[in-house]
């Protein structure tokens, strides 16, 4: 187990702990925790736009 952990850049002690936790609770592998999807739009509050000033131009 240590060789597999080291070959994948993992700490062998952490891998052993994870395996022991999963062996004690096999349902954890089969039923992942439900996740809410990330919102596709996030509204941000913006300051009010300044009032339009008269540019001196008139429509023709």
Q: Taking residues 48-60, what's their average pLDDT?
A: 69
* DSSP-derived secondary structure letter, 8: T
Give 17-40 pLDDT, tens digit per residue: 888 888 887 666 666 666 778 778
Supply the pLDDT for residue 55: 61
Average pLDDT score, the chain: 78
Check whether 43 has a pLDDT greater than 80: yes
Supply the pLDDT for residue 23: 84
CA 2 to CA 13: how far, in whole Å?
A: 8
């Amino acid at each position: 187990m240590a060789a597999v952990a080291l070959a994948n850049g993992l700490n062998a002690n952490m891998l052993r702990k994870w395996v022991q936790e999963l062996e004690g609770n096999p349902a954890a592998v089969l039923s992942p925790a439900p996740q809410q999807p990330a919102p596709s739009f996030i509204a941000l509050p913006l300051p009010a736009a300044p009032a339009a000033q008269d540019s001196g131009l008139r429509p023709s």
